[in-house]
Structure 1
Amino acid sequence: MTYFDIATPAASTEESTISYSFESESNSVSDSDSNS
């Protein structure tokens, strides 16, 4: 998913931002899980 996003960042700047946000959220969840 990330690779595709990077492969075509100009294709959808908005989508890129959403993907980035999702990644950030995922990271947060992962951190919480690790803590638990």
Structure 2
Amino acid sequence: MQRKSFYFAIYSLCVAHEWVKFNWVQIGFFIHILRLLS
């Protein structure tokens, strides 16, 4: 049972990492557009 929660924790970390990485791409893109408009 403990091993299952261990794998779940690793999976959650991977998903969170992917989400944050994607979010940074969006933020960078948004800043780039703001610079073009200003």
TM-score norm. by structure 1 comes to 0.66
Question: Which 4+ runs in 1 deviate beyond 3 A?
Answer: none
Deviation at 1:27, TM superposition (A): 0.2
- Aligned-pair Cα RMSD in Å: 1.3
Q: Tell me which of the two structures has the higher relative contact order, counting C-alpha pairs closer than 8 angstroms and 6 or more residues apart.
A: 1
Gaps of 5+ in 2: 27-38
TM-score norm. by structure 2 comes to 0.63
State the number of aligned residues. Answer: 26
Larger radius of gyration: 2
